Structure 1
Amino acid sequence: MKNFVALALLFLVSATSAADGTLLERALTCELPDEAVGSLLVTLGAEHTGFERPVARYALPTIDIYELEEPVTAHGYASRQVAVSPGRILLVVPIDSIATVARDLNLKEVPFSGARRPVRPSVTIVALQLSHKIIADKILVGCEYAFRSAAEWFQLVEQ
């Protein structure tokens, strides 16, 4: 009986630890509940000083880069930089090859679109490489939320 109780407690602690990832970690790993997608940037701005304002803003494609005080971990990578574009939240990792990330995360490379793997309807793990100055030699790894509310993230933040 003692073994059963110990095993049950171990399982409970393990399950709680996995579910206890921060909101940012859950967003980056595509574990964000659908109802939390629309308010993500507003909530992150209130929770993290690094999300108060981006350190860099780019157009074509539109992307904001945020610098956090502490590194965040997602998909086995860690970084202090997070990139946000309409519908995407991505960790900026110092890796020079999408092929490496695609192999590590079992993503399918798509010409001119990086690499991707659907997680559930309207939610996809993505890896991208962009040519914007501050992130040109890095890979962006995270989640794409194909929700109208995620496409409007910048409108909500600027209001």
Structure 2
Amino acid sequence: MNVLMNKILMVLVSTGPRKTLEFGIGAIGIEEFFNVIVTVEDVHRGKPNPEMFMYAAQLLNFIPEQCIVFGNSNSKVEAAHDACMKCVVVASKHPLYELRAANLVVRYLDELFVVDLKNLANIELAEFGSEEEEAEMKEEGDDPYPSTSVAIDDLW
């Protein structure tokens, strides 16, 4: 997982207070996975309005179409799609058919594969490939790291 986290920029988007969120992710030791944290304090309108997701993309200078939002409800899917972003829903105990508006639905995160994220964000496979593949792409003049980000919803 650390290899993947080093290649994909991640933003934590939450309607909770920044202090509480920073304490929580610090307590479980995942703060280093997130490049940016966006809370309701940073925007005028919180979720389900797409402003939080749009702001997160702006902070990283990413285009929304290459961002993937992770959530657990149809309201997150709607906000992601309103922001022109893809959405992966972690259904957990929700019936899968209720969440079919998402670009991808998984029951649990361990069902998600790198190829799924690559396909959603339209990323070249070499982004997650070997150093030899990356060297070949550099020689061809392609950018091996296109702008892509992942926004993680906090309500799991």
Calculate the TM-score normalised by the size of structure 1: 0.27
Give the structure, 1 or 2, with the largest relative contact order (CA under 8 Å, sep 6 or more). 2
Q: In proportion to residue count, which structure has more helix?
A: 2
Structure with the greater alpha carbon radius of gyration: 1
